[in-house]
């Protein structure tokens, strides 16, 4: 569970005034100022549940889509669009409900500060395995592009897994640097 704890921990940061800021959208949007320690505990549990669901749901959805793309590219694209829209709506509603009645913070989450923070809590072996897995998926996507097959899906995998490999390799760097 150290992995889920580290991911959850990185979206809860202290501002210069000592207040906890919750960043449900990660580094992509603003955070929310938490009004009490009880609310922080409640949100940490709810966000960790969200991370656990994503950890298992997203790869399963990608596998279903990848298998369907192989049989019928149009079906794969349709499934991707349906799952992406459905998942995005579910995630948005879930995270929006968590931040209801909280004040927005002007503070933004900085990527390298986040990677540095997370790197302390995730075992080096887990980071290395994540990086290797992401790079393997990138290599597979490049091979698919070389064959000019499943271009849209391959570009999507390359984008997501490329970013993931960069993030986890950055965390390895910070882990070794300390």
pLDDT value for 26? 76
pLDDT above 70 as % of the chain: 92
pLDDT value for 70? 66
pLDDT value for 75? 74
More confident residue, 151 or 76: 151
pLDDT above 90 as % of the chain: 0
Do 172 and 122 contact (CB within 8 A), yes or no?
A: no
What is the edge-to-edge ordering of all strands in the sheet holding 30-33?
12-14, 20-22, 30-33, 103-108
Could you count the other beta carbons within 10 Å of the beta carbon of residue 168?
24
Residue 112 CA to residue 80 CA, distance in Å, equals: 30
pLDDT value for 1? 56
Residue 58 CA to residue 17 CA, distance in Å, equals: 37
Over residues 93-146, the pLDDT tens digits come to 888 888 888 888 887 777 777 777 777 777 888 888 889 988 988 888 888 888
Over residues 75-108, the pLDDT tens digits come to 767 777 788 788 888 888 888 888 888 888 887 7
pTM (predicted TM-score): 0.67
Residue matched to tokens 């449900």: 24
Judge whether residue 60 has pLDDT over 80. Answer: no
Top mean-pLDDT range of 59-73, 98-112, 114-128, 159-173: 159-173
Write down the H helix ranges in 36-150: 37-71, 73-98, 111-119, 124-146
Q: What is the mean pLDDT of residues 42-68?
A: 79
Do 105 and 31 contact (CB within 8 A), yes or no?
A: yes
């Amino acid at each position: 569970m150290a992995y889920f704890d580290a991911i959850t921990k990185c979206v809860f940061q202290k501002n210069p005034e000592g207040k906890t800021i919750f960043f449900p959208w990660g580094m992509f949007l603003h955070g929310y100022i938490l009004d009490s320690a009880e609310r922080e505990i409640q949100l940490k549990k709810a966000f960790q549940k969200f991370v656990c669901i994503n950890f298992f749901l997203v790869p399963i959805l990608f596998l279903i889509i990848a298998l369907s793309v192989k049989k019928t590219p149009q079906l794969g694209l349709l499934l991707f669009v349906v799952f992406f829209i459905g998942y995005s709506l579910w995630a948005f509603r879930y995270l929006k409900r968590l931040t209801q009645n909280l004040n927005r913070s002007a503070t933004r989450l900085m990527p390298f500060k986040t990677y540095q923070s997370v790197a302390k809590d995730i075992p080096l072996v887990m980071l290395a395995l994540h990086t290797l897995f992401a790079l393997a998926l990138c290599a597979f996507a490049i091979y698919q592009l070389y064959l000019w097959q499943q271009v849209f899906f391959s570009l999507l995998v390359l984008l997501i897994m490329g970013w993931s490999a960069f993030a986890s390799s950055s965390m390895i760097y910070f882990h070794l640097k300390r």
